[in-house]
Amino acid sequence: MRNKILTVDDSKTVRIIVRKAFKSYDCEILEASNGVEGLAVAAKEMPDLILLDITMPVMDGVEMLTRLKADPQLKGIPVMMLTAEGGKDNVLKIAKIGIRDYIVKPFKEELLLEKAGRIIELKPLSDAPSKVRSIFDAANILVVEDKPAIVQQIQAGLKHTPWAVHGVSTQGEAMDSWTKTPPDLIMISLSLPEDAAFTLFRLIRSNVKTKYTPVFGLVVKTEAGPLQQAQTVGFTTVITKPIDMGELESKIAKAMNLDTSLRYFKLESDILVMRLPENCTPPVLAEISNYLKPKLAEAVDAGNNKAVIDVHPLKSVHMGVIKILMQAMVTCRELGVQFALVGNTQLIAECKGFEDTRNWVFHDTLENAKASLGAAKPAEAAPALASA
């Protein structure tokens, strides 16, 4: 359920700053300009948090707080003071009436969010609900690792992606870094001295800006203790060293909930091209299999009922590849999509060796395959052209 935050301040400026601070979070901001209005809104809306100024006309914050705490219906609402009144005696006097926290103006939006986040659940709004982030979008990855060689390996291994990998070696540097630029994903070496990885993890989860950021642990496979501890406390996943870059990339994409379909499916001149990569590992095939039907259905829905299945980057055929190709052809037939296959000499020769694949007909180039689709009848078997 959406949190309601009531800001009670006679300054419209402060109310705007509060609204601005929470705009990226799923919460409703209610406003009142003095204590009388504040009590009325609180009784009507039952907010989850009240941010309360002290010096206000009509009824000041201290009186509003006293009345709120005397009302059995309202006394449970947490109140955080947000005021320029900050002398020690004043703060102590108000604290005795019953408040959850106290911010003395001037204040940074970050501090307000951090303190509010300790009282209520602040869920970030997705940047653009209608647009899913894709594998080709930029992202910031923070690596907290005291061994420079590992940072360099990760940077080199992810060089071909649009992700910026920033390495730091200490807890302090990590905190500075995520305060300046909140990362999209954080990797922490579990072998940092003095259990720093787990201290950092707690800090990440208690900070409103990084509360939901995926956190990976980095550890040598034989270090069972830290590995188990990381899984227990809730690290998103643990990557073992030596790092398999393909696996790391795939896990990053999954953790950041990226749409990876563009790696395999692309619309080219009204024809959907499904391209298998050179290295068709089981995770890759599983990913393609998940996207297959939705992508073909999406193409048909948009009026594009032709597809090319391009396997020419592959060096050899194995059972996983055969299965995905059969699944693709069956799905095309189900959806009434004309299709053509593109392969290389090696693949075509290998396909001749299997009972299920020996009758498959391949084109030698993408252009030939596309050209063939113009003359073919819909939903029939693969158009005849080149066969080894």
Partner 1 sequence: MPATQEISELLIRSNIARAVGDVFKTMLSRDAEPGITVGDGVNSSWPPIPVDGDAIPQVVGTVGFIGDVNGLIYLYLPLPFAIAATSHLLGMTPAELEEAGDEVVNDAIGEITNMTVGSFKNGLCDAGYPCKLTIPSILRGSNFSIEPISSVNRFIYSFETSGHKIVADILLKSGE
Q: State which residue, 13 or 316, has the beta carbon closest to partner 1.
A: 13
Strand, coil or helix: 340 = strand
Smallest distance, partner 1 to C-beta of residue 106, A? 4
Q: Which amino acid is it at 345?
A: T
4-34 CB burial, b ≥16 within 10 A, e <16: bbbbbbbeeebbebbeebbebbebebbbbbb
Q: Structure tokens of 70?
A: 């005397």
The answer to whether residues 142 and 183 touch, using CB atoms and an 8 Å cutoff, is yes
Q: State which residue, 112 or 227, has the beta carbon closest to partner 1.
A: 112
Smallest distance, partner 1 to C-beta of residue 88, A? 6
Binding partner 1 (rule: CB under 8 A), the pick from 1, 2, 72, 88 is: 88
Residues 6+ apart with CB under 8 A from 258: 132, 133, 134, 135, 137, 252
Instruction: Classify the phi-psi angles of 303: left when phi > 0, otherwise alpha if psi is within -120 to 50, otherwise beta.
Output: left
63 binds partner 1 per the rule CB under 8 A: no
Report the distance separating Cα 148 and Cα 156, nearest Å. 12
Whole-Å CA distances, 102 to 4, 107, 115: 19, 11, 9
106 binds partner 1 per the rule CB under 8 A: yes
Degrees, nearest 5: CA angle 281-285-290: 150
Residues 6+ apart with CB under 8 A from 325: 309, 311, 341, 357, 360
Pairing of strands 79-83, 265-268: unpaired
Q: Whose structure tokens read 């020996």?
A: 358
Q: Which stretch binds partner 1 (CB under 8 A): 8-16, 117-125, 223-231, 336-344?
A: 8-16
16 binds partner 1 per the rule CB under 8 A: yes
371 binds partner 1 per the rule CB under 8 A: no
Binding partner 1 (rule: CB under 8 A), the pick from 43, 46, 84, 326 is: 84
Q: State which residue, 90 or 161, has the beta carbon closest to partner 1.
A: 90
278 binds partner 1 per the rule CB under 8 A: no
Smallest distance, partner 1 to C-beta of residue 25, A? 16
36 binds partner 1 per the rule CB under 8 A: no
Q: State which residue, 59 or 371, has the beta carbon closest to partner 1.
A: 59
Q: State which residue, 89 or 278, has the beta carbon closest to partner 1.
A: 89
89 binds partner 1 per the rule CB under 8 A: yes
55 binds partner 1 per the rule CB under 8 A: yes
Q: State which residue, 109 or 268, has the beta carbon closest to partner 1.
A: 109
Size of the site for partner 1 (CB under 8 A): 25
90 binds partner 1 per the rule CB under 8 A: yes
Q: State which residue, 19 or 159, has the beta carbon closest to partner 1.
A: 19
Residues engaged in binding partner 1 (CB under 8 A): 10-14, 16-17, 20, 54-57, 83-90, 104-108
